[in-house]
Amino acid sequence: MPLPVPVLPEGPEGVDPAWLPDEAFRPIGSRRTLIRGWGPLARTAHQNVAEACARFGGRVERDASPGPFDLVLELTPGEDSSEAFTYERGHGRTTVTSSGQRGLLYGLFHVVRLGEAAFREERPRETHRPALALRMLDHWDNVAVHPVMGQVERGYAGGSLFWEEGRARWDLDRVLAYGRLLAACGINAVAVNNVNVHETEARLLTDRIDEVADVAQVLRQYGIRTHLSVTFAAPMVLGGLAGADPLDDRVREWWAETTAQVYQAVPDFGGYVVKADSEGQPGPFTYGRSHADGANMLAAALAPHVGTVHWRAFVYDHRQDWRDRTTDRARAAYDHFLPLDGEFAPNAVLQVKHGPMDFQVREPVSPLISAMSHTRLAVELQATQEYTGQQQHVCWLGPMWSEVLRFGSEEGLPLEELVAVSNVGDDPFWTGHPLAQANLYTFGRLAWQPQADPAGILDEWIGLTFPSAPQRLIDGLHSVLDGSWRTYEKYTAPLGVGFMVQPGHHYGPSVDGYEYSPWGTYHFADRDGIGVDRSVASGTGYAGQYAKPWAEVYESPETCPDELLLFFHHVPYGHVLKSGKTVIQHIYDTHFEGVAEVEEAVEVWASLAGLVEPGRHARVAERYEEQLRSAREWRDQINSYFFRKSGVPDAQGRLIY
C-alpha cells in the first residue's frame, strides 16, 4: 500500500526550524506576490509564499491578476530543467524569472536570503546559476539497526530521517521539511542509504523499491532527485546468480532489467552510488576486472534512463603490515584509478574523497582530482564530523572546504559535482549540535558557488537562522564559529599527521590507537622525531603524485607548508618551523591555545543566553561542556605523549604530566 504523501506543513512539531524559521519569510509574507506559470515546483513555491502570507498578512496571486505587486515569480519559455534564475529590483518591484521549475524555486529562496533588502535596494538584472550540476548528500543510513554500525553509520544526530523500524517512515512530513531546507541552500540530490550496503538495504533495489519511491515522491516536491547505494554483489544477493562478473552477459542483463524496474517506480531516479573492493565490500577485483569494468556495467544499465553511477575511489589496503613503510595508504586512490583515466563511461562519475586519507582535520587535497582529466569527477566531503568532533564539538568546516575547492588556482578544482556525507538525523535539532547546521548550509552554498566567500555564507546562515538578531548575537555567533576549525585542529593531531583517535568509534585521543594496526594510519613517532616520509627522494613517493609546482613544494621540509609538514615528512622534534618555533614547542603551544580558545567560546555562548531560544541554547551549552572536557583530554594526552617521547620540556614551564 502506498504511503500517504504529506502536504506542506507549518513544520514538524517539536523540531527546530534550522535556517528557515517563520520569521525569515516575513519580508515576503507581508507583501503582495504574483506567481506566473504552472508545474509541480511552481506549486511548491506558491505554497511556501501562501503560508508566509497567511502568517504575516500579505497576499499571493496566480498568473494574470491585476497589479501592482511587490514580488513577481515567473516561469518563462525555455529549458524546463534549468536551475538558473534572474533577479532584479526596480520601479518598486522585485522580479525573479526562470525557464526551469527548480530555478524558480531557487530564486524564491534567494529572495528569502536577501530579506528586506530584496524590497528596498535597487538592483540591475543579474543571473544566478549553479557552478556544479550535481550537489548531493550521501546519507549513510541503514534501514534496520545494524548490530555494529547502528542505524546511521558515522551519524551523530540520532536515527534516520527516512527509515524507522526496518522500513520507510509512515509519517514523511519531516522529510518534506528536510527537502525545503536542502532546496533553500541549493542541494538537488540525496542518496538515501549507506554506502556499506547490508542485506536489508540491498533489497531496496528490488522488492522494496516502493519504499524508495515513497521517499522520492516527497523529496521531488523540492526538486531533489533520489539516488540509491547498491551492492556490487546484488545479482548474487538478490538475483540468485552464481557471480557478479561485470563482463558476464547474464549479470549485465540482470542489472539492465532491474534498473528498468527502478525507473518504473521512480521515474526521476538519479542513479547508483557504489563502494566496491573497499574495506571488505565486494567488487570487480574478484573476477579479475577493473573498476572501469564495474562502473561501466552499471553505467550501461542506467544510460537509457539518463541515470548516473557514482563509483567511489576510496579503495586501499586495509590489511597493511604496520612494519612495512613502503606501502602508503595515501597513494592508493591515485595508484588504482589513474591508469583508468579515459576508460569510464560518460555517465560514470568517479567520486573522490577530498584528501588522500579519510576526512582528517588537515590533509592535502587528493592529487587524483587534478590528474583525472578524461574522467567525470565528484569530490566527496564529510559534513558529519567523524574526525572533527562528531557534532559534540563546534567545528565549522566552511574555511577548510573553501581551501580544498580553491586548491591550485583562482578557478579552483576541475569538477562537475560535489558530494557530502550528511550530518542530519532525526534529532529535534537536525544535526544534534544546533551549530552544526552551519556545516550543512555551507556545503549547499559552496556546492552552488565553490568560489564563494565562506564568511559571507556564514553571515547568510546566521541571518536566516536568527532573523532580526541583535548585533551582540551576530557577533557572538561569529566569534564561536569563525575560527572553530582551526581551534579543533590546535588541540588534536598536529601539523597534518592525522588520526591519533580512539579505534573504532574515532572519538577522543589515543595517540597510538592505530599505530600498530592494519589500517595504514601511522604517525611513526619515536624518540627522535615524528611524521611520515612521503617524499620521492627517501620515502613512499606520494609527493610525486602531484603535478608541478606542488610536487616540488611538498618534496622538501623546507618548502612544505607547516600545516602539512608531518603528513609529508619525518622530522626531528627540534626542526624549526616557518613560524620560528620547533615542532615540539608548536605541539605544546597549540594544544594549550586550543583549550584556551574553547574556554573563551564557552564564556561567549553563556553570555548569549537571553538572546537564543532556551532549548537551543541549553543544547549548545551542554555540548560545549563536553567539548571543553574532551579538548583538555586531547591536550594532556598529546603533550604528555610527546614530552615522554622527546624528553624536551615546555619552554614556558606549563604543567605537562
463: three-class secondary structure by DSSP: helix
Contact 313, 337 (CB under 8 A): yes
Nearest to 364 by CA among 153, 482, 532: 532
Query: Residue 506: which region, alpha, beta or left (left: phi > 0; alpha: psi -120 to 50)?
Result: left
Cβ-count burial 27-41 (b if 16+ within 10 Å, e if not): bbbbbbbbbbbeeeb
With cell 541503514, the residue in question is 142
Contacts of 74 (CB under 8 A, 6+ apart): 34, 35, 36, 37, 95, 96, 97, 98, 104
Cell 529535534 sits on residue:
428
* Grid cell for residue 351: 567520486
In the block, cell 498578512 appears at: 57
Task: Cell 524564491: give the residue.
Answer: 108
Instruction: Indicate the residue type of 276.
Output: A
- The DSSP code for 232 is T
H-helix or E-strand containing 617? Answer: helix 614-646
What three-state secondary structure class fits 578?
Answer: coil
How is residue 98 written as a grid cell?
526562470
- Beta carbons within 8 Å of 625's beta carbon, 6+ residues apart: 602
H helical segments located in 344-435? 367-371, 398-405
Q: What's the CA gap between 10 and 483, in Å, rounded?
A: 35
DSSP conformational letter for 509: B
Ordered alpha helix ranges (H), 18-165: 26-29, 40-56, 101-114
Exposure of 496 by Cβ count < 10 A (0-12 exposed, 13-18 middle, 19+ buried)? buried
Q: Beta partners for 308?
A: 271
Q: Is the Cβ–Cβ distance between 595 and 492 less than 8 Å?
A: no
Q: Where are the alpha helices (DSSP H) in 220-313?
A: 234-237, 249-265, 291-302
241: number of Cβ within 10 Å:
17
Q: Which sequence positions are flagged as catalytic?
A: 279, 358, 386
* Mode of pairing for the β-strands spanning 271-274 and 308-312: parallel
Give the residue carrying C-alpha cell 576508460.
343
Beta strands in 365-451 (DSSP E): 376-382, 417-421
Beta strands per DSSP E along 324-416: 348-353, 376-382
Q: What's the rounded Cα separation, in Å, for the pair 396 and 77?
A: 41
- Cα(192)–Cα(218) distance, integer angstroms: 13
Distances (CA, A) of 214 to 4, 218, 622: 8, 7, 36
Cell 548490530 belongs to: 147
